[in-house]
């Protein structure tokens, strides 16, 4: 992980600290999440990454895709 320093105006800093407190996360984590969301919206060589983290699930969820999409257990 890279350590960095930023400058914020007082009001933005206080508002961001309050948001982090309400979410139960650190100010640094709020900054990381915000940057991830902002960067994910930018054009990329992997445009599907814009959807990364958008949905929650389990690693093996795709194993049942045939059942969900085609209403059968195998192709």
Alpha carbon dihedral 65, 66, 69, 70, in 10-degree steps, equals 180
Supply angle C-alpha 37, 38, 43, rounded to 5: 105
Token digits for 7? 């400058």
* pLDDT the model gives residue 49: 67
The string of pLDDT tens digits covering residues 7-58 is 999 999 999 999 999 999 999 999 999 999 998 787 777 776 667 766 777 7
Q: Collapsing DSSP states into helix, strand and coil, what is residue 50? A: helix
Query: CA 44 to CA 17: how far, in whole Å?
Result: 30
Token digits for 16? 């961001």
């Amino acid at each position: 992980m890279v350590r960095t320093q930023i400058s914020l105006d007082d009001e933005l800093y206080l508002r961001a600290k309050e948001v982090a407190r309400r979410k139960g996360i650190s100010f640094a984590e709020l900054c990381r999440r915000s940057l991830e969301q902002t960067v994910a919206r930018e054009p990329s060589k992997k445009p599907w990454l814009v959807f990364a983290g958008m949905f929650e699930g389990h690693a093996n969820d795709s194993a049942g895709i045939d059942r969900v999409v085609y209403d059968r257990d195998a192709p």
